[in-house]
């Protein structure tokens, strides 16, 4: 699914993908980090959610 997202975004000219998960989803966090995603500051509408974890990766 992540590869499809990356391809979809790249084909449409996007230069970055961003995503959100929750602190308790440690398997998702490990997967995203393993795929090269870097943790970023929480973006709207997640900026006020204490358990939100946001990631980004340049394409």
Across 1-59, where does the E strand assignment appear? Answer: 16-22, 38-40, 52-58
Note down pLDDT in tens along the chain; length 59 residues. Answer: 888 888 899 899 999 999 999 999 999 999 999 999 999 999 999 999 999 999 999 98
The structural domain count of the chain equals 1
Residue pair 53/38 in contact (Cβ under 8 Å)? The answer is: no
Q: Which residues pair with 58 in a beta bridge?
A: 16
Beta partners for residue 11, in sequence order = none
Tell me the pTM. 0.86
| Residues sharing a CB contact under 8 Å with residue 13, sequence separation 6 or more, in sequence order | none
**Which CATH number fits the domain that encloses residue 35?**
3.40.630.30
Please report the pLDDT score of residue 1 as a whole number.
Answer: 84
Expressed as residue numbers, the domain containing 28 is: 2-58
For residue 6, what pLDDT is reported? 84
Q: Residue 38, SS3?
A: strand
């Amino acid at each position: 699914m992540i590869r499809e997202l990356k391809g979809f975004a790249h084909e449409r000219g996007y230069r970055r993908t961003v995503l959100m998960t929750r602190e308790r989803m440690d398997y998702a966090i490990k997967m995203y980090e393993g795929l090269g995603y870097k943790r970023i500051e929480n973006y709207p509408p997640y900026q006020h959610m204490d358990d939100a974890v946001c990631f980004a990766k340049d394409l």
